[in-house]
Chain A
Amino acid sequence: MKILVCISQVPDTSTKIILKDNNTAISSDGVTYIINPYDEWYALIRALELKETGVATDVHLITVGKADVEPIIRKGLALGGDEAIRIDAAPNDAYETANYIAEYAKSVGYDLILCGKESIDYNNGTTGVMIAELLDVDYIGFATSIQIEGNIATVNREIEGGEETDTCNLPVVIACQKGVAEARIPNMRGIMAARTRPLKVVTPTAVAPVASILSYEMPPAKAGIKLVDPDNMDELVELLHSEAKVI
């Protein structure tokens, strides 16, 4: 069984966002880039677990980006992927990204495609679903556990106000979140081995974007805090009622 794990490069979670070029771009000065946490901690690690337990034979990593994303691919390989693919493009939207990944996935034929529930930069959570649609397969989002037996995936996923257990036939695209696996740190052996594992660069069939970001804006600063005496909670409730109008 072959697994494809989609990873995305994002700014580290502690990054302070600074706008540049008349608010049309995000500054990359001093920004540390990481693998999107949902992709790494859950999707990639679960794929590796499935290989370690003999369920999967191959774990491939794929990302769409220019050469500057290679450090995060190497980190992914250091955690344990067999092979990595970089689709050489700078996509404008999820539709483009999904098309490139789906095109490559079709050419290989994967049984399972894993990704994170969303990327922490653009928070769309749409690429995985789009890949599933392009490949004409099922998609399960917000997964909290994944078991594979033969040709069937059993997945716990979040629903409104609880969880449910679903089953479906492979191939399937599953978007992972907390619960699917426990995060790991790459060890020295993995880091050394990653240097020799293949990193393929693929030129995609270009797809025109259907959306693009025109500009950015920072959230407005809070008007200033009103402190309330801890012994006067009646006042706080009154403020929430008459001033903030939230209760």
Chain B
Amino acid sequence: MSVLVLVEHTEGIIKKKSFEAVQYASHIAKQNGATVTAVVLGNAQSSEIEGLGAYGAQKVLYVADARLDELHARAYAKALIVAAQKEDSKIIIALHDINGRAVAPRVAVKLKAGLVAGALSYPDTEKGFVIKKAVFSGKAFAFVNILSDAKVITLMPNSFQLNKAEGKATVEKLDVSFDEKDFGIKVKQVNKVSGEVSLADAELVVSGGRGMKGPENWGLIEDLAKELGAATACSRPVADSHWRPHHEHVGQTGGTIRPNLYIAVGISGAIQHLAGVNGSKTIVVINKDPEAPFFKAANYGVVGDAMEVLPKLTAAVKKYKETHK
């Protein structure tokens, strides 16, 4: 038996969060006395594919079809099913991200398998196959038991520390017969915002709220983010006022993020906003109102005017980087 894991790459370079998924699969495989088979779709570099061994994959099944460089969820799901049959896999893992979330539920339906979406823990096999996940956008956690024989998991990125070891995976080509229906969605245009760190995957995030007073002051947020190599985010009123694009909105009705560091500037900390960010490992709150509720949820706080504190913090980060080169 083998634990199957779907691996994502960007232009052939495997994403860090996919290493996390392979390592997660490897831990589950050890629990079950199984091996790990990674599935790579599209054109990826062979050194990258073999490198999955360093995170615990013994084998990689590779479908070198250029059409799969784009997300075609039906084709991806079909490839996973073919791989699962070949490898006798009962446990299939993808990432809880835009791609994984389009593919995993299809695989679950095909296998009549229970699915945990956004896993935060390894399965606890003492009471069944129980996995922890966030619910109510992080206001609580649920322990979900998968009842079916086949099991599908989407892993929340940035939930486990990566440990690289030695090892090369053996690579095998996988034959999948696709049909026209598998490529029903045609991609007409792609607009990537270059140079920006993707918010969903960012380890560090700097976020601004109404306390920033207006879009003209966002340079201060961006300067700090750039110095840290962080992504930028914002609260709902900021997105609603069109100070910032909608995709930057984090909170219960925007994106849910769980970076290592979340710096909230001029955000009061309404329950809806906290729901989207309270999975962050460390929270820094900068607010001139010492009564702001966000301070109760923070690890570090600075009571002060954002316009004055931000340039000082940016300068301090710059100084730190120069002395820690």
Interface residues of A (CB under 8 A from B): 11, 13-17, 19, 26, 37-38, 93-95, 98, 120-126, 129-130, 132-134, 136, 138-142, 144, 154, 158-169, 178-179, 209-219, 222-223, 225-231, 233-234, 236-241, 244, 246-247
Contacts and interface: CB of A to CB of B under 8 A. Distances in A.
B170 interface: no
Given A17-B140, A26-B140, A164-B189, A240 B146 contact: no
A163 B191 contact: yes
Nearest to B115: A126
B136 A214 contact: no
A33 to B, nearest CB: 13
Interface in B101-129: 101-102, 104-106, 108-110, 112-118, 127-128
B312 interface: yes
A98 B323 CA distance: 56
B253 A37 contact: yes
Contact of A160 (B201, B239, B284, B319): B201
A-B residue pairs, 5 tightest by C-beta: A230-B304, A211-B114, A210-B114, A129-B105, A233-B316
B223 to A, nearest CB: 13
Contacts of B313: 233, 236-237
A168 B196 CA distance: 29
A211 B142 CA distance: 12
13 contacts: A93-B115, A98-B105, A121-B136, A126-B101, A134-B109, A139-B102, A159-B98, A162-B190, A215-B142, A230-B309, A231-B312, A237-B313, A238-B320
B97 A160 contact: yes
Given A125-B117, A168-B185, A237-B317, A210 B143 contact: no
A95 B115 CA distance: 8
Interface residues of B, number: 101
A246 B298 contact: no
B108 A123 contact: no
Nearest to A208: B147
B272 interface: yes
Given A122-B135, A123-B134, A165-B188, 8 more contacts: A120-B137, A121-B135, A121-B136, A129-B105, A162-B191, A222-B299, A227-B301, A244-B282
Contacts of B104: 126
Contacts of A161: 192-194, 196, 198
Given A213-B142, A241-B320, A95 B114 contact: yes
B141 A216 contact: yes
Nearest to B142: A213
A98 B305 CA distance: 49
Interface string B197-236: 0101101100000000000000000000000100000000
Contacts of A214: 127-128, 130, 143-145
Interface in B294-308: 295-305, 308
A201 B275 CA distance: 34
Contacts of B167: none
B176 interface: no
B284 A98 contact: no
Contact of B300 (A120, A169, A240): A240
B73 interface: yes
A130 B108 contact: yes
Contacts of B147: 209-212
B159 interface: no
A210 B146 contact: yes
B146 to A, nearest CB: 5
Contacts of A121: 135-136
A201 B121 CA distance: 39
Contacts of B136: 11, 15, 17, 120-121, 123
